[in-house]
Amino acid sequence: MTNAQRRAALLASRKAEMDSSSNDSKPAPKPGSAFHPHEASAYYLADVNTVGTFKMFARDRTPPVYTYDIITVHFELNPDTGTWIWFDGKKNQFPRKTQDGWRLGSRKLHDTREGAEAELQHAMAKNGDRVTKVHDLPDDMTALKKIRSAHHPDRNPAADQDLYQAVVEKLDRMRAQAQ
């Protein structure tokens, strides 16, 4: 008997076992698999990607632009191996146990969305993203006008658009409160 014949016989016997033993839609996991998703079976990943990169020997280096996203993960049971997998369209990833919980690839799995959002806030603070600093604007009208003129898109091509927009919105709010 060749290896291919053995494999085909093994798969046929497994399929026959699964058809006879369970009639429900989800097959039962093998007792050897350690990962069992909770009843909601939704986990969350904090995803930080780089949009723009800088060239190593360029004169005008610009820092990379980061995008932040939360991915909802649904697990399925692989009937061949009996392990829970998440198929992202590129590769099968298996959850693995670490000291602080479960990981999918290099990213930590979060049971709740709040945990993933906290990790995103930490990544944004680490990267110095402007979104976390919008609320740090001064309450002085003249200081805000200086920031606005320094970051005006028409006068400065390397202006921070998010900061300029935040200053304009804060000036509008301050003018509305003064009236």
Q: Looking at 97, 112, 128, which one is the last position of a domain?
A: 128
The answer on 164 and 149 residing in a single domain is yes
The answer on 31 and 89 residing in a single domain is yes
Residue 2 lies in a domain: no
Whether the pLDDT of residue 21 is over 70: the answer is no
Pairing of strands 107-108, 101-104: antiparallel
The answer on 174 and 96 residing in a single domain is no
Residue 18 lies in a domain: no
Q: What angle do CA 59, 64, 66 make, to 5 degrees?
A: 170
Segment 51-74 shows an average pLDDT of: 72
The answer on 160 and 112 residing in a single domain is no
Angle separating helix axes 161-178 and 141-150, nearest 10 degrees: 150
The answer on 136 and 116 residing in a single domain is no
> Tens of pLDDT along 70-105?
888 888 777 887 777 776 655 667 788 888 888 887
The answer on 43 and 109 residing in a single domain is yes
What range defines the domain where residue 120 resides? Answer: 26-128
The answer on 159 and 110 residing in a single domain is no
Segment 120-142 shows an average pLDDT of: 74
State the total domains in the chain. Answer: 2
Segment 54-82 shows an average pLDDT of: 75
For residue 67, give the nearest of 53, 52, 44, 50 by alpha carbon: 50
pTM of the model: 0.49
Residue 93 lies in a domain: yes
